[in-house]
A and B are shown apart, each in its own frame.
Chain A
Amino acid sequence: MAGGASLDGMIETHELTKRYGSTTAVDRLSLVVKPGRVTGFLGPNGSGKSTTLRMILGLAHPTGGHALVGGRPYSELRRPLHEVGAMLDPGAVHPGRTARDHLRSIALTTGISAARVGAVLELTGLTPVARRRVGGFSLGMRQRLGIAAALLGDPPAVILDEPVNGLDPEGIQWIRNLLRGMAAEGRAVLVSSHLMTEMEQTADHLIVIGRGRLIADTGMAEFVRGASRTDVLVRVDDPGRLASVLVGAGGDVASEADGALAVRGLAPRRIGDLAARADVAVHELAVRRATLEQAYFEATENAVEYRAGDGGRR
């Protein structure tokens, strides 16, 4: 890995801004993507994710602020493929070219060997179709080809935009293991996805943006814990009696449609103790953890650019 050791793989933006006319796509966004972990990049459609990634990679020019990869602007990287690998659009291929020639044309720019091309084809499971034209590839195969291209330079940082789109369950699991493995090797991995359950299993850290602004830059567990939806579901023989006891103990109690109680502010153990003391029979006591999806919806509620049902109003 070339370049200054301490900044290897570090991706940062400072006050990064992109305006198109009167629309601000990215609004003074500052973030740091650190090596050694998978950072999930989340945000509603039109929130500026892709624009941000394109500015980091030098494909779009910022209106203000700047982005650095390994401490330098992308356009100044001498061997960019060895600093950061990226896949933005799996459709960005010439349909008439073979998978192998596509990768070789990228590899040649910086003297990456034919052996390395073979290695990434092998790694992404494309060796059997290496000599086939890309035009006949499924979306999943194109995703693999895009990832193969991103890995050509064995870079300390990897940026993948929606890498699991079009992949079958096996492919999704393969990506998950690949990303986790790269983070474990000390690489910075920045990955955007709309699949929350997938992100929950893959990412350690989250960067959430909405309307081009930073909403959250935090650990996965912390982000999910912060959601108000974490509560305890209690089913008892006498919900009315337990509810008054729990409220008296400082709990926040809501009734579910089927008579169960949804309790916040009290630990499960305390709820069980209080029920026993009140002589109420407990049939079920379950912690309902918020999912990433719920936490995400809460966080981005006010930042959804286009939402179904309100006629696409801003």
Chain B
Amino acid sequence: MMRGAMASEWLKLRSVNSMRVTLPLACAASFVLAVAPFASDPARSAMSAAQLARYDAAGYCYSGGFLIVVLAVGVLGTLSATSEYGSGLIGTTFLAVPRRRAVLAAKAAVVGGAALLVGLVLSLATFLTAQRMLAGKHLAVGLGDPGAARAVAGAGAFLAVTALAGLAIGIVLRRATAATAAFLGLYVGANLVTGALGGAADAAGRWTPLQILKGLTSTRGASAALPGPTAAALECLAYLVVLLGLAALVIGRRDV
């Protein structure tokens, strides 16, 4: 039953335009805007020692344009749930697979798996392209350099976490507008709040998704507001447990 449910979810995911058009567009925009700033970075010889110590050739790949694909994947994640609730299609889905948690598991496997694959390909492509652009400036790092491979893998995995968070929020809230707003509130709004509060909100700031992404991809160490890679990974896990747990709780209880 699980295999059938996953095959069904996979077909549903790839048979609508949001996946065939929106996702590739978001990936392309994300890639271009992520690598473009490297062209204007100064060469190694023009940097001070302090600048050079801060310069994060791996982490910078995932700080700017990459956020476009993060937000797109998260919204697509919410849509994969809310589009079914909005049309009532979720009823048809539950008729075919009455074990509702199996539906959630199948959706999570497919949405999370697809996002992981897309995320890893995109993060690797971004990294390799950026390093190629930095080579002439003698700033490039390789996958073998400390933290670089972890940054690439972390950025890819973060997309999967984001898609799953979106899916769970979509299942809990059911309505597209509410779910999109909640997702953007968590991913963008939370950062605006902790940013405005400054140092007072450092502890909370470590828990905002965008700081988690930075923690996963930075190769220049943690700070008060920035979790280290292990802490960031654990925070991702905590988010998934809470959000997917909530989704699993409500999906079985509610009338459709």
Chain A positions near chain B (C-beta within 8 angstroms): 54, 57-61, 74-78, 80-81, 86, 88-89, 91-98, 101, 104-106, 108-111, 149
B11 to A105, Cβ gap below 8 A? yes
**B73-126 residues at the A interface, CB under 8 angstroms:** 83-84, 87-89, 91-92, 94-99
How many contacts A-B (CB < 8 Å)?
80
B 3-30 binary contact with A (CB < 8 Å = 1; else 0): 0110110011001111000000000000
With A54-B256, A93-B87, A94-B83: A59-B12 Cβ-Cβ less than 8 Å: no
With A89-B91, A97-B15: A108-B255 Cβ-Cβ less than 8 Å: no
With A58-B98, A94-B89 given, name 15 new contacts (CB 8 A): A54-B255, A59-B91, A60-B255, A89-B88, A89-B91, A91-B87, A92-B91, A94-B12, A94-B84, A94-B87, A96-B18, A101-B15, A106-B96, A109-B97, A110-B1
A-side contacts of B15, CB under 8 Å: 97-98, 101, 105
10 A-B contact pairs sorted by A residue (CB < 8 Å): A54-B255, A58-B95, A81-B95, A89-B88, A96-B18, A97-B12, A106-B92, A109-B1, A109-B96, A110-B96
Q: Which 3 pairs of residues, A with B, have the shortest CB-CB distance? A: A92-B88, A60-B255, A109-B96
B-side contacts of A105, CB under 8 Å: 8, 11-12, 15
B-side contacts of A75, CB under 8 Å: 98-99
B91 to A88, Cβ gap below 8 A? yes
Chain B positions near chain A (C-beta within 8 angstroms): 1, 4-5, 7-8, 11-12, 15-18, 83-84, 87-89, 91-92, 94-99, 253, 255-256
A109 to B98, Cβ gap below 8 A? no
B-side contacts of A80, CB under 8 Å: 95-96, 98
* Cα–Cα, bound, A59→B255 (Å): 6
B87 to A109, Cβ gap below 8 A? no
B8 to A109, Cβ gap below 8 A? yes
B-side contacts of A78, CB under 8 Å: 1
Smallest Cβ-Cβ distance to B100: which chain A residue = A75
Smallest Cβ-Cβ distance to A77: which chain B residue = B98
A-side contacts of B17, CB under 8 Å: 96
* Cα–Cα, bound, A58→B253 (Å): 11
B-side contacts of A101, CB under 8 Å: 11, 15
B-side contacts of A98, CB under 8 Å: 15
B-side contacts of A92, CB under 8 Å: 87-89, 91-92
B166 to chain A, nearest CB (A): 17
B234 to chain A, nearest CB (A): 35
With A58-B98, A109-B1, A109-B4: A104-B89 Cβ-Cβ less than 8 Å: no
A-side contacts of B95, CB under 8 Å: 57-59, 80-81, 86
Smallest Cβ-Cβ distance to A73: which chain B residue = B98
With A60-B256, A105-B15, A111-B4: A93-B99 Cβ-Cβ less than 8 Å: no
* Cα–Cα, bound, A96→B22 (Å): 13
B7 to A74, Cβ gap below 8 A? no
- The one of B16, B94, B253, B255 that contacts A94, using a Cβ cutoff of 8 Å: B16
* Cα–Cα, bound, A126→B253 (Å): 36
* Cα–Cα, bound, A199→B98 (Å): 30
* Cα–Cα, bound, A14→B99 (Å): 22
A-side contacts of B84, CB under 8 Å: 94
* Cα–Cα, bound, A57→B255 (Å): 11
B4 to chain A, nearest CB (A): 4
A58 to B94, Cβ gap below 8 A? yes
A108 to B8, Cβ gap below 8 A? yes
* Cα–Cα, bound, A54→B91 (Å): 9
* Cα–Cα, bound, A111→B5 (Å): 10
- The one of A54, A61, A95, A108 that contacts B7, using a Cβ cutoff of 8 Å: A108
* Cα–Cα, bound, A181→B83 (Å): 36
**Which of A61, A86, A108, A109 has the most chain B CB atoms inside 10 A of its CB?**
A109
B-side contacts of A93, CB under 8 Å: 87, 89
Smallest Cβ-Cβ distance to B102: which chain A residue = A109
A80 to chain B, nearest CB (A): 6
A-side contacts of B16, CB under 8 Å: 94, 96-97
A91 to B88, Cβ gap below 8 A? yes
Smallest Cβ-Cβ distance to B13: which chain A residue = A105
A104 to B4, Cβ gap below 8 A? no
